[in-house]
Chain A
Amino acid sequence: MAAWLDAVLVLLMLSGFWLLGSSRLQACIRTVAIQGVLLGLIPLLSEWPDVTPRLAVVAAISALIKAVILPYLLRRAIREANVRHEVDPMVGFTTSLLFGIGLWGISMYLASRLPVAEASVSSLQVPVSIFMVLCGLFLIVSRNTAVMQAIGYLALENGIYGFGWAFAIEEPLLVEMGVLLDVFVGVFVMGITIHHLSREFDTIETDELASLKD
């Protein structure tokens, strides 16, 4: 199953690049949803063939939330705000892709500095997770629409979750559920805020939010 696991991890890495290079919000939301499904596969593949029912249930719930419910909330937000594209990002899409290559390099470097002795963990696990975290951070600071920032937050959260799957599987269920709940509520609250933003400012471009400063 190791080969399949690596394939999933590579797909996750590519999805990060896709997020960096795409201007269509719909497509980005779909990408984040696909990441949710892939993340659900990771624990199943890495524990195969002894998957406990508990593990399967947690994986299924996390996939459900990350691949169905959260994308639904984000889609609703863009429908209400009536935006389809990230029009004028602070860093252009081609440049973002170049940055992405740099981020991948940083991730590989950091991962090499933090060695994992265990054999059961794929060597791609740590760099891919760090890469997704960095991609999320980059999206949050370099994009203007609030929806895109929320997508960036989700990508960041996915990266952290992927890292968690690799190591923290034996943690009791409660914590995982708490984490999922928090992310769910977080995106929910962000969705409501985006809704208010679009009504109040007629736009969800966050660079319009500049009345508070020193």
Chain B
Amino acid sequence: MLWWLIGVPVVCALLCLLLRWNRPRRVLLVVAAALHSLLSLFAVTHAPPAQLYGWIALDAAGSLFLIITSGIFLVAACYAVGYLARESAPLRGAEASEAPFANYSEAVFTACLLFFLASMTLVVVSRHWGLLWVAVEGTTLASAPLIYFHRHARSLEATWKYLMICSVGIALALLGNFFLAVAVRESALGGLHLSMSGLEEQARTLNPLWLRAAFLLILVGYGTKMGLVPLHTWKPDAYSEAPSMVSALLSGVLSNCAFLALLRAHSLMVRAGLGDFSRELFVMFGLISMAVASIFLIQQLDYKRLLAYSSVEHMGILVLGAGIGGAAGYGGMLHALNHSLAKSMLFLAAGNTLALFRTKSTLAARGAIRLQPVTGVLWVLGMLAITGSPPFGTFLSELMVLKGVLDGGRSLVGAVYLAAICIAFIGISAVILPLVYGNSQAFAGQESPHANEQGPAERSRESWWALAPPLVLAVVAVVLGVYLPPPLAQLLHDAASAVGVE
């Protein structure tokens, strides 16, 4: 069962590399994603047996993140069909001769998308520290070619930074794993095994000194992948240069996978009786991430970078919630889900807007709602969702985190938290509102340099492939804000207690 979850995307990825035709390959991508979603649902409801000496197993936290991964990937895959069709359409006349870049091979791109899904699934079901590391590194390697889909100098720059910074970060996490091994060896246990359940059972006998050092390295390593300040520098570059559904996946899914890895480490620390050490570090990283990111949101001149910084801010909320624990721990889990929905939806809408205006500059792209009404509405909904306004789920989860903070009597933390959220609200709305409703004078008087080149007005037709995926996400985001189905609420509680944050 669990093998199937990883096997299906891998096999389909290999098929994608072999297939010579674009259309069947796109169908295969969606089929693989749909199959993976069905398998995930089945796995979550049926509690499949553990595999490979218990190294691969699905607990409550894994189930929650598996659902997020699989669901968002399915939506992104549907969006990718329309995106790839648009990108591979032959350019006309002057556009073709002036095309600034040629795209990477579509077969490699599709295969990498599926490898990316497989490695993220492995992250979610890993119950062994070594295997988890291999899987997280796998996500980096599978996603680097995705960022470089547009063969362009800027996307190359982003890819190099992503590859280098994340590889170094993950290497430090590997050192953390070895420190963990030493912590086992220096304890009374002797013998070496890094299986998570085994370590958690015997956590109290581990050598605390080495365990603390290991946690620090793991925090830095997977924190780089998650994009916590000051390890976030690759994030705005990669998110802004990657194709939009890749940004949606990186932000909505991959960050969550890294968060899960951090939660696993935290859970071990809690069971070893060193919970206070990891909690304080989580709170510190969370607050710094929120504060710094919210400052970068102000006057942001690139709307995809804006979304990236907002992502950094929300990662801050997640670790803060986990660090505070109690109601905030549950809120953090809920927020992981809500943030994935809202941010993926925004990135997909940004993809539509980018196709319309062909610029990411917030100064040039204005008045989207007049040319693409549905995308314009999506932007506004997304803005409300991401800033934590009711009736979206993010409102509820951010409130819960705040409640947890105040319950613990940490009023100073609460003040910084609220201030960061307010600044983020101002920064984000100041950029997105002009983007949607602004005066598009910039284009009114501008003569197209080539007579046969399409202006934004002619490109404004919105296809269903581009609209349905973000619309689905928007609907789910609203529904979760109003009504949380009891099984899901139960799963969130189980997940929070499984990793020791509730």
Interface status of A200 (Cβ within 8 A of chain B): yes
**Chain B window 206-249, contacts with chain A (Cβ cutoff 8 Å), 1 for yes, 0 for no:** 00011001000000000000000000000011001100000000
Docked-complex contact A137 and B168, CB < 8 angstroms: yes
Docked-complex contact B194 and A171, CB < 8 angstroms: yes
Q: Range of interface residues on chain A? A: 35 or more
Docked-complex contact A193 and B181, CB < 8 angstroms: no
Interface status of A128 (Cβ within 8 A of chain B): no
Docked-complex contact B160 and A209, CB < 8 angstroms: yes
- CA separation between A117 and B156, bound complex, in Å? 47
Docked-complex contact A149 and B164, CB < 8 angstroms: yes
Interface status of B59 (Cβ within 8 A of chain A): no
Q: Range of interface residues on chain B? A: 35 or more
Docked-complex contact A117 and B157, CB < 8 angstroms: no
Interface status of B391 (Cβ within 8 A of chain A): no
**A153 and chain B: residue at smallest CB distance:** B167
Docked-complex contact A156 and B171, CB < 8 angstroms: yes
Known: A149-B164, A206-B160. A212 touches B240 (CB 8 A): yes
**B181 and chain A: residue at smallest CB distance:** A168
Q: Please pick, from B148, B167, B194, B241, the residue contacting A212 in the complex, using a CB distance under 8 A.
A: B241
Interface status of A133 (Cβ within 8 A of chain B): yes
**B193 and chain A: residue at smallest CB distance:** A171
Known: A137-B168, A140-B164, A189-B141. A179 touches B174 (CB 8 A): yes
Interface status of B186 (Cβ within 8 A of chain A): yes
**B173 and chain A: residue at smallest CB distance:** A160
Distance in angstroms from A92 CB to nearest chain B CB is 22
- CA separation between A71 and B485, bound complex, in Å? 55
Interface status of A3 (Cβ within 8 A of chain B): no
Which residues of the partner chain B approach A196 to less than 8 Å between Cβ atoms?
148, 151, 156
Interface status of B315 (Cβ within 8 A of chain A): no
**Chain B window 117-161, contacts with chain A (Cβ cutoff 8 Å), 1 for yes, 0 for no:** 000000000001011011001101100110010010110111111
- CA separation between A32 and B491, bound complex, in Å? 48
Known: A116-B182, A160-B178, A214-B296. A178 touches B131 (CB 8 A): yes
- CA separation between A196 and B160, bound complex, in Å? 10
Q: Please pick, from B154, B164, B186, the residue contacting A117 in the complex, using a CB distance under 8 A.
A: B186
Docked-complex contact A212 and B154, CB < 8 angstroms: yes
Which residues of the partner chain A approach B130 to less than 8 Å between Cβ atoms?
171, 174-175, 178-179
From B128, B240, B296, residue with most partner A Cβ within 10 Å: B128
Interface status of B480 (Cβ within 8 A of chain A): no
Docked-complex contact B141 and A153, CB < 8 angstroms: no
Q: Please pick, from A115, A140, A214, the residue contacting B236 in the complex, using a CB distance under 8 A.
A: A214
Q: Please pick, from A156, A163, A212, the residue contacting B168 in the complex, using a CB distance under 8 A.
A: A156
Distance in angstroms from A122 CB to nearest chain B CB is 14
Which residues of the partner chain B approach A179 to less than 8 Å between Cβ atoms?
130, 133-134, 174
Interface status of A201 (Cβ within 8 A of chain B): yes
Docked-complex contact A170 and B241, CB < 8 angstroms: no
Distance in angstroms from B407 CB to nearest chain A CB is 36
Tell me if B's interface is mostly helix, strand, loop or mixed.
helix
- CA separation between A179 and B181, bound complex, in Å? 15
**A110 and chain B: residue at smallest CB distance:** B213
Q: Please pick, from A114, A182, A197, the residue contacting B138 in the complex, using a CB distance under 8 A.
A: A182
Distance in angstroms from A95 CB to nearest chain B CB is 22
- CA separation between A133 and B137, bound complex, in Å? 18
Docked-complex contact B134 and A167, CB < 8 angstroms: no
Interface status of B175 (Cβ within 8 A of chain A): yes
Interface status of A47 (Cβ within 8 A of chain B): no
- CA separation between A145 and B241, bound complex, in Å? 22
- CA separation between A146 and B140, bound complex, in Å? 18
Known: A171-B130, A175-B131, A214-B236. A209 touches B161 (CB 8 A): yes
Docked-complex contact A168 and B131, CB < 8 angstroms: no
Which residues of the partner chain B approach A212 to less than 8 Å between Cβ atoms?
154, 157-158, 161, 236-237, 240-241
Which residues of the partner chain A approach B161 to less than 8 Å between Cβ atoms?
209, 212
Interface status of B192 (Cβ within 8 A of chain A): yes
**B130 and chain A: residue at smallest CB distance:** A175
Interface status of B305 (Cβ within 8 A of chain A): yes
Docked-complex contact B134 and A153, CB < 8 angstroms: no
**Which A residues from 143 to 159 make CB contacts under 8 A with B?**
146, 149, 153, 156-157
Docked-complex contact A171 and B175, CB < 8 angstroms: no
Interface status of A185 (Cβ within 8 A of chain B): yes
Which residues of the partner chain A approach B164 to less than 8 Å between Cβ atoms?
140, 149, 153, 190
Docked-complex contact B134 and A197, CB < 8 angstroms: no
- CA separation between A206 and B156, bound complex, in Å? 11
Docked-complex contact A163 and B185, CB < 8 angstroms: no
Docked-complex contact B131 and A114, CB < 8 angstroms: no
Docked-complex contact B157 and A178, CB < 8 angstroms: no
Which residues of the partner chain B approach A178 to less than 8 Å between Cβ atoms?
130-131, 133-134
Interface status of A21 (Cβ within 8 A of chain B): no
Docked-complex contact A164 and B241, CB < 8 angstroms: no
From B148, B167, B174, residue with most partner A Cβ within 10 Å: B167
Interface status of B445 (Cβ within 8 A of chain A): no
Interface status of B191 (Cβ within 8 A of chain A): yes
Interface status of B41 (Cβ within 8 A of chain A): no
Docked-complex contact B182 and A160, CB < 8 angstroms: no
Known: A118-B185, A156-B168. A211 touches B154 (CB 8 A): yes
**B309 and chain A: residue at smallest CB distance:** A214
Which residues of the partner chain A approach B182 to less than 8 Å between Cβ atoms?
116, 167
Residues in chain A within 8 A of chain B (CB atoms): 114-118, 133, 137, 140, 146, 149, 153, 156-157, 160, 163-164, 167-168, 170-171, 174-175, 178-179, 181-182, 185-186, 189-190, 193, 196-197, 200-201, 206, 209, 211-212, 214
Q: List 18 A-B contacts (CB under 8 A).
A: A114-B213, A140-B164, A163-B175, A164-B174, A167-B178, A171-B130, A175-B131, A178-B131, A178-B133, A178-B134, A179-B174, A193-B144, A193-B159, A197-B156, A200-B156, A209-B161, A212-B157, A214-B300
Given contact pairs A140-B168, A174-B131, enumerate 15 new A-B contacts (beta carbons under 8 Å): A114-B209, A117-B186, A146-B160, A153-B168, A160-B178, A163-B175, A163-B178, A168-B181, A170-B191, A171-B130, A174-B130, A181-B134, A186-B141, A193-B144, A196-B148
Interchain residue pairs A-B with the least CB separation, the first 7: A175-B130, A178-B134, A209-B157, A182-B137, A212-B237, A168-B181, A170-B192
